[in-house]
């Protein structure tokens, strides 16, 4: 299974599927169709039923049940796009069989390395096969590892028809990395009782809690006057922007928080004397604290509007997704089954809150409860991303074990 997974994964990561938050189309980049069409043909060639790719780049397929037992219809979902943060077409992946420990040189010419000091979890994978990049792109394990794992698990069931299974649904989505991965996901068409996303990190991760999330953009209108004549006339939009940011609690930033602690995160800023813009994401697991965080934003804007004028600051504040926990708890057997599947395979489950979100968070509120299982990768969205091949193999085996346990 490992060699099949490796071959699939290396094929997929060659295809550039970056999404683009500045484009309102779905998919946000046409190049996501390049992978989608390849996967569609692959699923058809395997012999799956109801293979469909719509004009929004949502790919679905069905593996019909081969048992007469009454078992739930289970879905497995992954996303095809990669983060806009870094180039995503991996032409020269680095493959280290039988990793012996220590630093991994990704790019000697650019002096880029995976340092065991900076990334101590590398020591967990001594003796395994590490797949990384040459330091010029991200790897795309988020979430092409998940895609490879799902297809490989389904192929295994097709090649071993003696293994009983219920109906299995497969869904691959675009634009997850820009928060729009399920904007057009047809839950009724997918027709699963529940699903799992294969979009987690290191081996053993199992997640059914995630952040409540909002995005904020603050637009500031300054007044630019020649600096020689600016006294009592100029209003520097950049200074107002810095003042706003300074009024937010500095200890409530991502670099100072962990576990269930939420944050305010400045992700982008542009500015001149005349105009400035600040873009934030706001996150918290607790719904009441999340609402308080949004109120802090509106109150701080109101304070500065009183100081500088109502027309100087304009806030756009929008909810993005919510904590899936409340939707998963009524069907918590999904989480327990996944946990037991991992334990049966000798994997220690790490049930942790997601300090982010997945397609599953929004799908859960669309009527498809959808916790998240590890896909095996580390250091997503940047040049230090890597995945142990053995973790991918274990993820595929977890899929098979979940399917098996629901039949039994």
- H or E segment at 235? none
Q: Which two tokens stand for residue 366?
A: 């669309």
Helix residue ranges per DSSP H, 79-184:
141-159
Q: 16, 42, 81, 385: which one is catalytic?
A: 81
- Grouping H, G, I as helix, E, B as strand and the rest as coil, residue 381 is coil
Q: 42, 142, 176, 252: which one is catalytic?
A: 176
* 319 is known as an active-site residue: no
Task: Give the integer Cα–Cα distance in Å for 180 and 84.
Answer: 13
Task: Give the integer Cα–Cα distance in Å for 19 and 38.
Answer: 18
Give Cα separations from 275 to 105, 219, 223, 231, 246 (angstroms): 43, 8, 8, 19, 18
Task: Give the integer Cα–Cα distance in Å for 74 and 185.
Answer: 16
| φ, ψ of residue 4 in degrees (nearest 5) | -65, -45
* 193 is known as an active-site residue: no
Q: What does DSSP say about strands 74-79 and 168-173: parallel, antiparallel, or unpaired? A: parallel
For Cα atoms 170, 171, 174, give the angle at the middle one, nearest 5 degrees. Answer: 155
Which residues are known catalytic residues? 81, 176
């Amino acid at each position: 299974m490992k060699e099949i997974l490796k071959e699939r994964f290396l094929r997929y990561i060659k295809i550039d599927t970056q999404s683009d938050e500045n484009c309102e189309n779905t998919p946000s980049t046409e190049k996501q169709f390049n992978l989608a069409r390849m996967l569609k043909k692959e699923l058809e060639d395997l012999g799956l039923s109801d293979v469909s790719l719509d004009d929004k780049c949502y790919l679905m397929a069905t593996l019909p049940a081969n048992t007469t037992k009454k078992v739930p219809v289970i879905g497995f979902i992954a996303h095809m796009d990669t983060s806009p943060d870094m180039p995503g077409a991996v032409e020269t992946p680095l493959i280290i069989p039988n990793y012996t420990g220590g630093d991994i040189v990704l790019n000697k010419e650019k002096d880029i390395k995976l340092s065991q000091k900076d990334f101590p979890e590398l020591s967990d994978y001594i003796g395994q096969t590490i797949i990384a990049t040459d330091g010029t792109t991200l790897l795309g394990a988020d979430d092409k590892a998940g895609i490879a794992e799902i297809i490989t698990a389904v192929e295994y069931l097709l090649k071993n028809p003696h293994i009983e299974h219920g109906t299995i649904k497969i869904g691959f989505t675009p634009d997850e990395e820009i928060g729009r991965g399920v904007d057009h996901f047809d839950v009724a068409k997918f027709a699963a009782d529940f699903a799992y996303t294969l979009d987690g990190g290191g081996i053993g991760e199992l997640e059914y809690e995630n952040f409540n999330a909002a995005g904020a953009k603050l637009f500031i209108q300054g007044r630019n006057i020649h600096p020689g004549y600016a006294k009592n006339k100029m209003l520097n939009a950049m200074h107002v922007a810095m003042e706003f940011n300074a009024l937010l609690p500095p200890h409530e930033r991502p670099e100072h928080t962990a576990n269930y602690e939420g944050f305010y995160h400045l992700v982008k800023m542009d500015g001149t004397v005349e105009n400035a813009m600040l873009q934030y994401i706001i996150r918290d697991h607790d719904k009441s604290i999340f609402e308080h965080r949004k109120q802090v934003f509106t109150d701080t804007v109101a304070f500065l509007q009183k100081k500088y004028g109502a027309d100087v600051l304009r806030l756009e504040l929008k909810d993005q997704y919510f904590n899936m926990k409340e939707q998963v708890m009524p069907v918590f057997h999904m989480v327990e089954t996944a946990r037991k599947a991992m334990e049966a395979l000798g994997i220690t489950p790490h049930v942790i809150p997601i300090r982010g979100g997945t397609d599953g968070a929004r799908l859960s509120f669309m009527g498809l409860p959808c916790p998240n299982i590890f896909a095996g990768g580390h250091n997503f969205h940047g040049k230090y991303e890597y995945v142990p091949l053995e973790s991918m193999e274990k993820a595929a085996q977890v899929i098979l074990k979940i399917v098996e346990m629901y039949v039994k």
